[in-house]
Structure 1
Amino acid sequence: MKLFKLVPLFILLAAPLFSFQEGYASWYGGKFHGRKTANGEIFNTYDFTAAHRSLPFGTKIKVTNTANGRSVIVRINDRGPFVKGRIIDLSQAAAAELDMIRSGTAYVRLTEAGEDETAERPQTVRAAEGPLYLVQAGSFKQRENAEKLYALLNGSGIAAAYESSAGGDITRVVVPGVKEEDLGALKNRLKALGIAEVLVRVSQ
Structure 2
Amino acid sequence: MRVLLVEDDARFARALTAALRRSGYEVDHAPTAAAALAAPPGDLVLLDVGLPDGDGMDVCRRLRAQGEVAIIMLTARGEERDRVAGLRGGADDYVVKPFGFAELQARIEAVLRRARPRPAGLREVGDLSVDLDRHEARVGGAPLTLTRKEFHVLTLLVTEPGAAVRRERLLTEVWHTSWRGTSRTLDVHMATLRGKIGESAQIETIRGVGYRIVPGPTRP
Same fold (TM over 0.5): no
Higher RCO structure, 1 or 2 (CA under 8 Å, sep 6+)? 1
Relative to the length of structure 2, the TM-score reads: 0.28
The structure with the largest alpha-carbon Rg is 1
TM-score by length of 1: 0.29
